[in-house]
């Protein structure tokens, strides 16, 4: 009765606060799963009250966390979130930090107290549960195939999966999928067939590249997009610096298509640096980048460049310490390498970041060693705080909370960017510069800020193909030294490193240009689907994984080969590489 009462209350709470609950026809099955799991745990415990407290804390934390993630990122809790939860402790330094510690520790401590450790039955049951867990982890491919066959999977619509399954079932099924990915063994024939299909028989050249010795600056702008698309918000004035507007217009309003929305910056980073798309609903740096790979930093380092990654956040966030090393960066400057002298809440201002980077790198440029300066900005992260030196000049008629805070952040972010960009152009006129937004911003739960302007629906399962394009698209501007700003059109982010290498004169076949763009179609793989955009009509098409009708058959075949190469190169035996 306690399990069912708590289940009903949590479903009502997540429906009321987050507009998220399972389908009505799934409620009885989801409730039964809770009863089974809860009763098994009850058998481990000494008395009813300690068990009830531990169970209530655990289920409440899971359901609230699930609702919060859905509200922010449009997706329910996934297995990787449990691995990456430690990152959240590095993101906040206010009451939310204490709330997260409480959410983690209180259930654990209560279970330690509730379990009757001195009873034989407890250890027998723990052994049985441990054996079941071992079997689950030992045969994940078979388990996942069984669950997908009987319960289905819509990887492109994870909120729909949650509603079809309920939380415990959803986490178990997606955990089996994650474990199964690590269970895949690729043959040499499979990898070479994928290379032939994707690269037309080309193979990555193992020779060191011979490149023009020009500095390269890549500037990732946190949560940066064109706010004037929010037509229903009633924004009083364009917050973007007129210099940025002019620069973007010079590029033909070129854009990059990101693999993520509202978060998971590391996935956009992976694509910009490695030339391959992220197709999993997970942080690629944390579970799938297991090898040293000749990505852009490695290629430039082999050509004599000093390769520096800079991000004024905790060094280990999204596993960047190991990821940057495996990609070929020689230096990684994180929060402890910067003076925190101009803070907006917990975020160092871009103005201070750019100034300190210029001071550090000016002597390097003067010494004549070419430089890759890869900059991941932090200012602009939700919830968009500004310090007293940055008043809010822009007003928003509708939603004067998060949207207004966001557009005022953009007011300063765009101006601080252009001050640095103009300085680079004056002092380093031959440099290659890439400026891009990593993903769209979070503007309220269930895509609120975008829904009111008709850009997105509240539920990703209701998106049109045009909405998926909006969901992915951010400004992207290349500058090629004396040749000025390039018009690259609308490209997926994973094509950016190949463009940079070409601008530096690389004529080899390499990992970074292996996925040459199709002449007619732009492909933006997303978890469970591929967004295909016709280069001539700009009409988008969504191809769900496994679809074999019309144009989607060839598109899905190509993306399947790309996934094979991604698994081999970044997680597997690297049979595709020399």
Instruction: Tell me the C-alpha to C-alpha distance, in Å, between residue 371 and each of 151, 329, 393, 430.
Output: 52, 11, 37, 12
pTM, two decimal places? 0.81
Residue 334 phi, psi dihedral angles, 5° rounding: -120, -160
What local confidence, expressed as pLDDT, does residue 182 receive?
64
Q: What is the DSSP string of 445-470?
A: GGGHHHHTTTSS-SSGGG--HHHHHH
Strands (E), 270-409: 306-310, 331-333, 343-344, 347-348, 371-376
Q: Are 296 and 329 in contact (CB under 8 A)?
A: no
Both tokens of residue 124? 């027998």
C-alpha to C-alpha distance for 172 and 166, rounded to whole angstroms: 10
Instruction: Tell me the C-alpha to C-alpha distance, in Å, between residue 520 and each of 6, 475, 502, 523.
Output: 54, 22, 21, 10
**Beta-bridge partners for 373:** 217, 308
Q: What is the DSSP string of 311-337?
A: -SS-TTGGGHHHHHHHHT-SEEE-GGG
**Taking all residues of the chain, what is their mean pLDDT, rounded to a whole number?**
89
C-alpha to C-alpha distance for 412 and 394, rounded to whole angstroms: 11
What local confidence, expressed as pLDDT, does residue 286 receive?
78
Q: How many residues in the chain?
A: 578
The residues spanned by each domain of the chain are 2-181, 193-571
C-alpha to C-alpha distance for 183 and 178, rounded to whole angstroms: 9
Q: Which residues of the chain are under the pLDDT cut of 70?
A: 73-74, 83-93, 155-157, 182-184, 400-401
Q: List Cβ neighbours of 209 (8 Å cut-off, separation of 6 or more).
A: 299, 300, 302, 303, 501, 504, 506, 508, 510
C-alpha to C-alpha distance for 434 and 256, rounded to whole angstroms: 11
Q: What is the DSSP string of 399-422?
A: -TTHHHHHHHHHHHHHHHHHHHHH
Reply yes or no on domain 193-571 having CATH 3.40.720.10.
yes
Say how many CA atoms lie within 13 Å of 228 toward its Cβ: 9
- Residue 509's SS3 state is coil
Q: What is the DSSP string of 39-54?
A: HHHHTTBSSHHHHHHH
Sign of the CA dihedral running 544, 547, 553, 554: positive
Q: Are 342 and 352 in contact (CB under 8 A)?
A: yes
């Amino acid at each position: 009765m306690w399990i069912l009462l708590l289940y009903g209350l949590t479903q009502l709470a997540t429906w009321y606060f987050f507009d998220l609950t399972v389908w009505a026809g799934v409620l009885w099955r989801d409730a039964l799963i809770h009863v089974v799991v809860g009763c098994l745990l009850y058998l481990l415990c000494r008395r009813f009250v300690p068990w009830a407290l531990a169970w209530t804390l655990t289920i409440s934390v899971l359901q609230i966390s699930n609702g919060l993630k859905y509200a922010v990122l449009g997706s329910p809790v996934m297995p990787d979130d449990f691995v990456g939860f430690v990152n959240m402790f590095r993101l906040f330094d206010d009451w939310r930090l204490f709330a997260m510690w409480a959410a983690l520790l209180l259930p654990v401590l209560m279970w330690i107290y509730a379990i009757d450790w001195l009873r034989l039955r407890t250890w027998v049951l723990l052994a049985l549960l441990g054996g079941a867990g071992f079997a689950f982890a030992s045969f994940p491919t078979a388990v996942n195939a069984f669950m997908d066959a009987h319960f289905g999977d819509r990887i492109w619509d994870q909120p729909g999966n949650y509603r079809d399954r309920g939380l415990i079932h959803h986490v178990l099924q997606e955990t089996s999928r994650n474990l199964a990915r690590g269970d895949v063994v690729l043959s040499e024939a499979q990898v070479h067939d994928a290379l032939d299909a994707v690269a037309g028989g080309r193979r990555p050249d193992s020779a060191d590249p011979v490149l023009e010795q020009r500095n390269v600056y890549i500037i990732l702008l946190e949560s940066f997009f064109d706010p004037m698309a929010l037509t229903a918000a009633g924004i009083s004035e364009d917050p973007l610096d007129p210099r940025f507007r002019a620069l973007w217009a010079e590029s033909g309003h070129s854009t990059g298509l990101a693999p993520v929305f509202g978060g998971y910056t590391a996935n956009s980073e992976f694509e910009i640096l490695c030339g391959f798309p992220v197709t999993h609903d997970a942080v690629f740096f944390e579970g799938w980048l297991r090898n040293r790979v000749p990505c852009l930093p490695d290629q430039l380092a082999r050509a004599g460049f000093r390769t520096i990654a800079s991000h004024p956040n905790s060094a280990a966030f999204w596993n960047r310490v190991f990821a940057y090393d495996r990609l070929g960066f020689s230096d990684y400057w994180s929060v402890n390498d910067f003076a925190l002298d101009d803070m907006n809440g917990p975020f160092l201002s871009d103005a201070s970041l750019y100034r300190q980077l210029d001071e550090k790198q000016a002597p390097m440029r003067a010494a004549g060693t070419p430089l890759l300066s890869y900059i991941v900005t932090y200012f602009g992260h939700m919830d968009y705080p500004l310090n007293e030196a940055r008043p809010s000049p822009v007003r928003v008629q509708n939603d004067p909370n998060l949207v207004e805070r966001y557009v005022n952040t953009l007011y300063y972010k765009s101006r601080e960017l252009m001050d640095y960009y103009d300085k680079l152009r004056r002092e380093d006129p031959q440099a290659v510069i890439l400026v891009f937004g990593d993903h769209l911003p979070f503007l309220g739960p269930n895509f609120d800020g975008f829904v009111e302007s008709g850009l997105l629906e509240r539920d990703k399962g209701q998106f049109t193909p045009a909405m998926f394009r909006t969901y992915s698209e951010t400004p992207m501007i290349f500058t090629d030294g004396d040749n000025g700003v390039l018009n690259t059109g609308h490209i997926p982010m994973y094509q950016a490193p190949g463009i940079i290498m070409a601008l530096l004169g690389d004529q080899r076949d390499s990992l970074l240009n292996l996925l040459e763009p199709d002449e007619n179609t732009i492909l933006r793989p997303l978890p469970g689907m591929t967004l295909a955009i016709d280069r001539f009509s700009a009409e988008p098409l969504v191809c769900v994984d496994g679809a074999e009708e019309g144009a989607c058959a060839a598109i899905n075949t190509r993306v399947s080969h790309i996934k094979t190469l991604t698994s081999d190169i970044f997680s597997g035996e690297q049979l595709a590489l020399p």
